[in-house]
Amino acid sequence: MKILVLMKMVPDIVEELEVAGDGTSLDQEYLRFIVNERDDYALEQALILKDRLGATVSVVAPEAPEVDDVLYAALAKGADRVTKVSGIAENTGTRSTAATLAATLSSIPDALPADLVLSGCQAIDDLDGFIAPLLAESLDLPYLGLVSRLTVDAGTAVASKEYAGGVMGRYEVTLPALIGIQGCEKPPRYVPIAKVRAAMTSGDIETVAATSGPDTTQLQVAAMAKPTEAGHAEMLEGSVPDVAEKVADILADRGLL
Amino acid sequence: MVPGKLNPDPPALIEKSALGAPSVATRHGWDAPAEQASPDSTWERELGWSDEQWERTMATATVLETPDVTLDSLLASPEGRPLLSCIQCGTCAGACPYGDVMHFTPRRLIGMLREGFIDEVIASDDLLSCVTCYDCWAKCPRGLHLTDVLLPVVKEQLLIQLPEVPAELQSALSNTMRYGNPMGESPRKRAAWIDSAGVPVPILRDLGRPVDVLWIVECYAAYYPRGQDNARATARVLDALGVDFAILGAEEKCAGECARLVGEKGLFDTLREQNMATFGKYEYASLLTSDPHAFDAFSFVYPSLGLNKPVDHSTPFLASRLDALRPRLTRELGYRITYHDSCVLGRHNHMHDEPRRILEALPGVTLVEMTHNRDNTICCGGGGGGMWLDTHYKAKGHPRLSDRRVEEAIATGADVLAVSCPYEVPRFEDSLKVLGYDDRMVVRDVMELVAEALDD
């Protein structure tokens, strides 16, 4: 089985995000990048399938700061091949990014066809999560998103999705398919740093230039700003009975008692 | 400071056996009467040994002279070869605070290793229960380097082969790699506490000149809210002493000692290289740290990468300058204090008198001892990754070691539990709350107590 995992880097919010002087972009000075959490689950899902069924796992990621660390860690965890894609312009629109990825994946030798293409279903900078289904459309693959459990048996994948109220949906899809991963049966595995360091010495990150797709829409960011404060929480001070009385008064005022 | 030299020859058996017997008599008998364990009474006196004799038999802190030793090469290495001389007496298993819940105690581990069954030990996650308290090492009649040589190389294989590293430990290790601190806090905020220090705390890069003392604040004192109390207190004490000091601020990263002892050697190597590169950018005469774990790493393991500056921990640093501070220690505290010897500063480095000398110099302080003190102290459970394995231990049904310690502290009738390691503050404060003693006792770092006694 051949599994292709798509990963990307997103801003690390451990540092407060600042808007740059131009008012339309993030201040790069202290900005750090971290792997999109759901993509890390997609890699874990691929490695679980590899452990169980045997597979070759290839990882493709757009070039970004700190992406090399993520790709070497993927090799150390058990990925067979890692590739980064250079030259995807910033502010490329969702459709355009999907079209570029589809064209680029087709240009990487032996990357396609794959039995399974796995990707995170969302990212903190892409909550709509449209890239994966648009990419599936471009690659002419069926798509299932928000998948939290995945098993494969004899060319058929069984994917589970969580719905409100604890309801689970179970879907069968004939491979090949593109699956948008929300989570998997266990958190991403830990890889000792010594193994990552060994991968840095012996491993190889391939680099390919992006191939533009038919859609080249660039988004124009009109403005970027931090949310403005709308109001403050009211802190109730005093002894426990005083505070209890104030809470009761507030609830009564609001007609809740 | 105890010289950080590996003793090439294991002490003669006859000499150590005299120490071994009383060690067994005083080890973790939770209900042993205090006078039995007091170091200056009963058996120690009866032996009539001179200080020199005790000094000779006492296990000394070690330096790992071949940091690249692996499990395969262990028994052939100078550090590991003495393991062949283990007499399987089981003193280590009895001394181990988790010896009663581990299947592969150090004794059994050595037996398995010698007979070629080490894979079975690695396949179990038993060694995650090792909290690197140095008690097996301190009490071994053969003077074997268990805590700092054998256990880390076995744990290294354990971390590689463990199907799932406990989530809490995993995030602490990943955070330390990425952000330089196990909490996953912003590296830029490492020196945020200095705004509330009340005294100037210069950052070396901004200072632009050499300093006498480069103070490595370390993660728990820099980020953890109660640890910051320790950092602020230390800053006040350094200021009062007129020490020419500076910190690294955002450039500082974890020293990595816990990473090494939990078996994450690659992480330790990375941190050590990064820290050595940072140290190399500046001129300073000596290193000072608030964390005994960093003190151990800088004293014993960094030198092999070329660190050749004197290293001190804040408690012994102050103890040796106490006379200069004494005139300013004027505020009456009125506390009954019991001091907890940390495994690293206490048992590993034998720095028992320094903190006690400081506490006795504080006005209105009565010092009382717990049953297990000095080299015979009980571990708080936080070393060697234990800080991030509480959930794992709970799931395994292990007792919480800090609870045992707090029970002993409460039994002294003290109202303050004094510590010298920033890990112990959250551990003991949690235990006091869990056991319902938080209205009877508070936990304070020695530095906090000194700062409290300082005039304005």
Question: pLDDT digits over B41-98, tens only?
Answer: 333 444 454 555 444 444 555 544 444 667 777 888 777 788 889 999 999 999 999 9
Rg (CA), chain B: 21
Size of interface A-B (CB pairs under 8 A): 49
Instruction: Give exposure, B156-169, as e/b (b: 16+ Cβ within 10 Å).
Output: bbbbbebeebbebb
Which pair of structure tokens corresponds to residue B378?
């009980």
- CB atoms B160 and A195 under 8 Å: yes
Q: What confidence category does residue B328 fall into, taking pLDDT thresholds of 50, 70 and 90?
A: very high
Q: Measured between CA atoms, how close is A187 to chain B, in angstroms?
A: 8
Return the CATH architecture of domain B329-453: 3-Layer(aba) Sandwich (3.40)
Question: Three-class SS of residue A205?
Answer: strand
- State the CATH architecture for B168-319: 3-Layer(aba) Sandwich (3.40)
Instruction: Name chain A contacts of B167, Cβ cutoff 8 Å.
Output: 187
For chain B, the residue count is 456
Residue A37 burial (CB count, 10 A): 15
Contacts of A195 in chain B (CB under 8 A): 160, 266
Rg, C-alpha atoms of chain A = 22
A2-209: CATH topology: Rossmann fold (3.40.50)
- Name the helix (H) or strand (E) containing A35: strand A33-35
Residue of A15, A186, A192 with shortest CB distance to B159: A192
The pLDDT value given to residue B50: 54
- List the single residue in A30, A189, A193 with the smallest CB-CB distance to B267: A193
Continuous segment of H or E residues that includes residue B445: strand B442-445
| Angle of CA points B355, B360, B366, to nearest 5° | 115
Query: Which tokens sit at A169?
Result: 């949906």
Contact check, Cβ <8 Å, A194/B269: yes
DSSP B194: G
Picking from B164, B186, B264, the nearest residue to A14 by CB comes out as B186
Which of B36-45, B104-113, B160-169 shows the lowest mean pLDDT across its residues? B36-45
Letter string b/e over residues B79-89, b meaning 16 or more CB atoms within 10 A of that residue's CB = bbebbeebeeb
pTM of the model: 0.86
Q: Where are the domains of chain A?
A: 2-209
Phi, psi of A51, rounded to the nearest 5 degrees: -60, -40
Q: Which of B186, B188, B160, B161 is nearest to B175 (CA)?
A: B186
- How high is the pLDDT of residue B61? 54
Which residue of A lies nearest to B269 if distances are taken between CA atoms? A194
For residue A156, list its beta bridge partners.
A153, A174
Test the B interface: residue of A16, A190, A196 with most B CBs within 10 Å: A190
The tokens for A180 are 């948008």
Residue of A nearest to B190 (CA): A15
Domain locations along chain B: 13-161, 168-319, 329-453
The ipTM (two decimal places) reads: 0.86
The single-letter DSSP state of residue A214 is: S
Cα dihedral A75, A81, A85, A86 sign: positive
Q: Is the dihedral of CA B35, B41, B44, B47 positive or negative?
A: negative
Residue B216 pLDDT > 80: yes
CA–CA separation, B110 and B108 (whole Å): 5
**Peptide linkage before B8 cis (omega within 30 of 0):** no
**What b/e sequence results for B210-233 when a residue is b if at least 16 CB atoms lie within 10 Å of its CB, and e otherwise?**
ebebbbbbbbbbbbbebbbbbbbb
Cβ of A249: how many Cβ atoms within 10 Å? 11
- Using an 8 Å CB-CB cutoff, list chain B residues near A30: 188
Tokens 């017997």, residue? B21
From the list A16, A30, A190, the residue facing B173 with the nearest CB is A190
Of A30, A34, A186, the CB nearest to B164: A186
Which residue of A9, A14, A17, A72 is the best one to mutate when testing the B interface, meaning the one whose CB has the most B CBs within 10 A? A14
Fold held by B13-161: Fumarate Reductase Iron-sulfur Protein; Chain B, domain 2 (1.10.1060)
User: What is residue B347's DSSP assignment?
Assistant: I
- Dihedral pair phi/psi, residue A197, rounded to 5°: -65, -35
- The helix (H) or strand (E) run that includes residue B358 is helix B353-360
Strands (E), B60-106: none
Q: How far is B263 from chain A, CA to nearest CA, in Å? A: 9
Find all residues with CB under 8 Å of B389, minimum gap 6, and list them: B128, B166, B168, B169
* B185:A14 CB<8 A: yes
Per residue in B382-439, pLDDT (tens digit) is 999 999 999 999 999 999 999 999 999 999 999 999 999 999 999 999 999 999 999 9
Do residue B270 and residue A195 have CB atoms under 8 angstroms apart?
no
pLDDT 10s digits, B238-255:
999 999 999 999 999 999
Query: Please, which residues have CB within 8 angstroms of residue B385's CB and are 6 or more apart in sequence?
Result: B128, B131, B169, B172, B258, B259, B261, B262
SS3 (DSSP) at B247: strand
Q: Taking chain A, what is the end-to-end CA distance rounded to the nearest angstrom?
A: 62
pLDDT, mean of each 10-residue run, chain A (257 residues): 97 92 90 96 98 97 96 97 94 90 95 96 90 95 96 95 93 97 94 92 93 85 89 90 95 91
Give the nearest chain B residue to A70 (CA atoms): B178
Same fold, B168-319 and B329-453: yes
| Contact (CB<8Å) B266/A192 | yes
Amino acid letter, residue A55 = A
Give the pLDDT confidence of B119-169 residue by residue, as tens digits: 898 888 889 999 999 999 999 999 888 888 888 888 988 998 888 899 999
Say if residue B454's pLDDT is above 70.
yes
Helices B446-453 and B225-241, interaxial angle, to 10°?
50
CB nearest to B170's CB, from A34, A190, A196: A190
User: Which positions 10-49 of A are in contact with B (Cβ < 8 Å)?
Assistant: 14-16, 30, 34
Query: What pLDDT score does B45 carry?
Result: 41
Whether the CB-CB separation of A111 and A60 falls below 8 Å is answered with yes
| Bridge partner residues of B27 (DSSP) | none
The verdict on a CB contact (< 8 Å) between A194 and B174 is no
What are A57's strand-pairing partners? A3
Asked if residues A210 and A100 have their Cβ atoms less than 8 Å apart, the reply is: yes
Chain A residues close to B178, C-beta within 8 Å: 34
The mean pLDDT value of chain B amounts to 86
Nearest by CB: A195 against B184, B188, B266: B266
* Residue B18 scores a pLDDT above 60: no
